[in-house]
Structure 1
């Protein structure tokens, strides 16, 4: 079932983390932060919403990094129930698609819960001071890729954040698969 995250809570400060990445390193939010802001994306390997836009996500990540923004993705899916989202499969996906950003594993799901992640993809865009400025969608795509000329909403919003420190007031929430939480 498709899920959408809540609207942007402007200025919200994200809790830090220390998560292993598919490149063998452990990353904190400070390690990822760029000089002009940071984009953290919650994704998982087999989500049709993520797969529909994966090449656009990679394109936008590269373009945002060139503007001085740090970028990373986090997978918090229950890998026991969904083996396609295991850490080893995450590494395969990152390598196959040449991710230009760290792909982090939130095995305990503590980070996803603390951040209030709701779906995949779920985008959290922060300014240089660490205040949340964007919690919208990538573009008009859903579980199928949108038109090739779709407005690059995430890219434009984060470009604005890099330039001004402020995100757009009007944001359309992302939509995607619900995060697969572990049984309590």
Structure 2
């Protein structure tokens, strides 16, 4: 079922984390923070919305890293019910698509909850001071990738954030599969 996150809560603070990648190496916010901003993405391996645009996500992440924006991806799905999102599968996905950023596993789902993540993909773009400036979509693609010439909304917004510290006032929310939350104990 598709989920749509809320609009950007400008200047909401970035949240610290300490999470392992699929091979067990632990990364914190300080390890991934960029001098010109930070992009925190919630993605997963099985979501058709993510899979439709994963190469565009990787392309734009690399371009943003070149502009001094730190990038990290986090998967928070319940792997008991969605084993294709397990850490070993995350390693395979990162290698297959040439991730240039850490892909971390939020087993407790506490980080996803702290950020208010709703769906995959869900993008949180912060300025250098750690204030939220972008909570929009990658581009106008849906469950299938749109045309190659679609406006690169995430890239353009984060480029603006890197250059000015402020995101665009008009943002279109991302859309994707809902985060697969664990059942409450």
Please confirm whether the aligned pair reaches a TM-score higher than 0.5, indicating the same fold.
Answer: yes
CA offset at residue 86 of structure 1? 0.5
Residue in 2 that maps onto 1:12: 12
Partners in 2 of 1:133 and 1:141 — Cα distance?
Answer: 21
Deviations 1:58-97 (CA, angstroms, capped at 9, x unpaired): 0000000000000010000000110000011111111111
Unpaired runs of at least 5, structure 2 = none
Compared CA separation, residues 110 and 60, structure 1 to 2 (3 A): same
- Give structure 1 regions of 4+ aligned residues with deviation exceeding 6 angstroms: none
1:23 deviates by: 5.2
Q: Partner residue of 2:88? A: 88
Corresponding residue number in structure 2 for 1:126? 126
After superposing the two structures, state which structure 1 stretch, 44-53 or 8-17, moved more: 8-17
Aligned match of 1:117: 117
Counterpart for residue 67 of structure 2:
67
Instruction: Identify unmatched segments of 5+ residues in structure 1.
Output: none
3-state secondary structure, aligned to 2:19: strand
**TM score, norm. by length of structure 2:** 0.98
2:161, 2:167 within 8 Å by CA — same for their partners in 1?
yes
TM-score with structure 1 length normalisation?
0.98
Please report how far the alpha carbon of residue 169 of structure 1 lies from its aligned counterpart in structure 2 after TM superposition.
0.3
Question: What is the aligned-residue RMSD (CA, Å)?
Answer: 0.8
The aligned length equals: 184
Secondary structure of 1:27's partner? strand
